[in-house]
């Protein structure tokens, strides 16, 4: 257990340095671009992103997690699998390029044609970079991954701002996905060189296919879950409302991505070393869930009560229609943060089939909710509520399956971990509710700072009082060491 903790702390430390500094960069870039570009531009690119993300599913087909999990692959196997991803990248790029006319005609927007054609280049780099990029994770080289991510974020962010100021328009939004994937490919290939072979690598692919197949199927399900709302809103409500929804969803997703990203990429490579020790995995899961719940639940309630201030401060008054959807979606932040770690436990338990079943269930409840929205409501708020309900039901099903079929452990062990995090969340919610009566006419920045400070103060005091983490002792220890 000590070795796991040491590896986790090291991986999380380096990943967090780059990711949290990257969060600041991302917010600054988004704030600037939101003022230079119109909502319709974001909505148009969001539609193109939905389709490129679908094709991107086939660039990996579960290969990454399978390479990390399988400890018996040779360097020859790795090289052959790399060649398979190169051929897949070429085929996918060509297919997406040829389908751009259909996409533009379906949405009756000719701007989608050149946008999608340019994004087709992204598919090759994403596919061909799969194997060399995965080898960083297999070798647990989290320090290099973190600094690479940080440098790329700065570079593409600066270039995007310069492009927007020069009047490039909505094409500005293509810089990040295309340039990022290209840089990751070239940097990874330089670190882990692969030979060009005249082979599809099918014999080596068969060694991991039983594992990667269900991982791939789960990715397909996840794609539809993440993008179906945007596809339906763009088709039945309009591009401008989609721009508002996309902005609220992206702002809600930022803390999730920047909290879970420092943990989940580290988790599977480390847990894969203990894939046969189910009792240990269950214990680690409960500790992880408790930690993430203490972070996610209070954060979600804070975002709910600071929704207006955040949206207006970050993006400006023209994005005010996004506020209600953002507040509703923020209530799911805690569940998403906690559930983000579940996939690593399915993977490390060699149960990608169980992960796929979870994806089927989530897809079913999500599609049902969206169908109701289209038939009866057709509002952004209805779609946001549908997403919230879907996350709640999926959370319950996912952990029931993990505990029942893999850990063979009473799920009450898991639910006990939520008692204290939920209690402090209710305290914070009550405090913010009272403050909201007096902060209506406050300056948005002052309101945001006051609510955030009081939330942090109450959260920290509770953590210290319950001895969840002895903050005072840690500070005193650091002072003495100096």
Per-position pLDDT tens, the chain of length 482: 546 666 666 767 777 776 667 667 777 887 888 888 877 788 788 888 878 878 888 887 788 888 888 888 888 999 999 999 999 999 999 999 998 888 888 888 888 888 888 989 989 999 999 999 989 888 888 888 878 888 888 898 889 889 888 888 878 888 888 898 899 999 999 989 888 888 888 888 888 887 888 888 887 788 777 778 887 888 888 878 888 888 888 888 888 877 777 777 777 788 887 777 888 888 888 988 998 999 999 999 999 999 999 998 888 888 888 999 999 999 999 999 999 888 888 888 888 888 889 989 988 998 899 889 888 888 888 989 999 999 999 999 999 999 988 888 899 999 999 999 999 999 999 999 999 888 888 889 999 999 999 999 999 999 888 877 766 666 666 566 55
In a domain, 3, yes or no: no
In a domain, 7, yes or no: no
Show Cβ contacts of residue 19 under 8 Å, excluding neighbours closer than 6 positions: 146, 149, 150, 258, 261, 262
In a domain, 228, yes or no: no
Does 281 lie in the same domain as 160?
Answer: no
C-alpha–C-alpha distance, residues 66 and 84, integer Å:
14
Buried b (16+ CB within 10 A) or exposed e, 247-283: bbbbbbebbbbbbbbbbbbbbbbbbbebeeebeebbe
Does 420 lie in the same domain as 305?
Answer: yes
Residue numbers of the domain that contains 262: 237-482
In a domain, 115, yes or no: yes
Closest CA to 359 of 252, 215, 210: 215
Choose the final residue of a domain: 145, 180, 213.
213
Does 195 lie in the same domain as 54?
Answer: yes
pLDDT at 259: 76
Helices marked H in 166-277: 175-191, 202-236, 239-260, 264-271
pLDDT at 25: 79
What pTM was estimated for this model as a whole? Answer: 0.74
The burial of 292, by beta-carbon neighbours within 10 Å (0-12 exposed, 13-18 middle, 19 or more buried), is given as buried
How many other CB atoms are there within 10 angstroms of residue 440's CB atom?
8
Does 267 lie in the same domain as 206?
Answer: no
In a domain, 221, yes or no: no
Does 200 lie in the same domain as 258?
Answer: no
pLDDT at 276: 77
What value does the CA radius of gyration of the chain take, rounded to a whole number of Å? 23
Tokens 């179906």 sit on residue:
228
Structure-token pair, residue 382 = 């209805």
pLDDT at 4: 64
Does 384 lie in the same domain as 313?
Answer: yes
Does 408 lie in the same domain as 273?
Answer: yes
Does 311 lie in the same domain as 383?
Answer: yes
Choose the final residue of a domain: 160, 181, 213.
213
Domain count, the chain: 2
Buried b (16+ CB within 10 A) or exposed e, 126-153: bbbbbbbbbbbbbebbbbebbebbbebb
Does 141 lie in the same domain as 259?
Answer: no
Tokens 């799911």 sit on residue:
332
Closest CA to 39 of 291, 290, 248, 216: 248
Does 266 lie in the same domain as 198?
Answer: no
Closest CA to 90 of 50, 55, 123: 123
In a domain, 122, yes or no: yes
C-alpha–C-alpha distance, residues 218 and 134, integer Å:
18
Looking from the CA of 119 toward its CB, the CA atoms found within 13 Å total 29
In a domain, 479, yes or no: yes
Does 139 lie in the same domain as 53?
Answer: yes
Show Cβ contacts of residue 479 under 8 Å, excluding neighbours closer than 6 positions: none
In a domain, 471, yes or no: yes
Does 251 lie in the same domain as 192?
Answer: no
């Amino acid at each position: 257990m000590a070795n796991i903790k040491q590896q986790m702390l090291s991986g999380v430390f380096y990943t967090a340095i780059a990711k949290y500094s990257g969060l600041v960069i991302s917010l600054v870039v988004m704030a600037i671009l939101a003022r230079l570009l119109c909502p319709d531009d974001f909505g148009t690119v969001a539609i193109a992103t939905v389709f490129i993300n679908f094709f991107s599913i086939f660039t990996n087909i579960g290969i990454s997690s399978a390479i990390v999990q399988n400890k018996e692959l040779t360097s020859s196997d790795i090289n052959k699998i790399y060649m398979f991803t190169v051929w897949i990248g070429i085929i996918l790029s060509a297919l997406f390029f040829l389908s751009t006319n259909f996409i533009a005609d379906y949405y009756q927007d000719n701007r989608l044609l050149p946008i999608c054609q340019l994004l087709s280049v992204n598919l090759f780099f994403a596919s061909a970079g799969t194997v060399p990029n995965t080898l960083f994770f297999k070798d647990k080289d989290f320090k290099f991954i973190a600094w690479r991510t940080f440098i790329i974020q700065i570079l593409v962010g600066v270039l995007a701002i310069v492009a927007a100021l020069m009047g490039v328009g909505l094409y500005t939004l293509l810089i990040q996905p295309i340039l990022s994937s290209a840089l990751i490919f070239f940097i990874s290939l330089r670190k882990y060189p692969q030979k060009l072979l005249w082979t599809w690598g099918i014999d080596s692919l068969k060694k991991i296919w039983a594992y990667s197949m269900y991982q791939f199927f789960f990715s397909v399900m996840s794609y539809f879950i993440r993008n179906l709302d945007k596809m339906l809103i763009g088709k039945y409500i309009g591009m401008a409302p989609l721009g508002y929804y996309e902005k609220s969803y992206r702002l809600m997703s930022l803390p999730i991505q920047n909290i879970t990203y420092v943990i989940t990429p580290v988790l599977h490579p480390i847990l894969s070393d203990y894939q046969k020790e189910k009792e240990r995995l269950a214990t680690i899961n409960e500790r992880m869930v408790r930690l993430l719940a203490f972070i996610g639940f209070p954060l979600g309630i804070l975002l709910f009560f600071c929704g207006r201030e955040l949206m207006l401060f970050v993006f400006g008054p023209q994005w005010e229609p996004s506020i209600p959807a953002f507040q509703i979606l923020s209530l799911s932040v805690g569940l998403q943060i906690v559930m983000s770690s579940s996939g690593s436990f399915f993977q490390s338990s060699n149960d990608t089939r169980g992960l796929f079943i979870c994806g089927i269930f989530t897809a079913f409840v999500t599609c049902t909710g969206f169908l109701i929205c289209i038939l009866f409501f057709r509002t952004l708020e209805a779609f946001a509520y549908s997403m919230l309900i879907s996350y709640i039901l999926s959370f319950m099903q996912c952990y029931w399956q993990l505990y029942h079929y893999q850990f063979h452990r009473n799920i009450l062990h898991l639910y006990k971990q939520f008692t204290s995090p939920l209690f402090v969340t209710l305290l914070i919610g009550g405090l913010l509710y009272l403050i909201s009566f007096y902060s209506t006419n406050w300056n948005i920045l002052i309101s945001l700072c006051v609510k955030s400070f009081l939330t942090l103060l109450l959260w920290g005091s509770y953590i210290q009082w319950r001895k969840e983490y002895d903050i005072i002792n840690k500070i005193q220890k650091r002072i003495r060491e100096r």
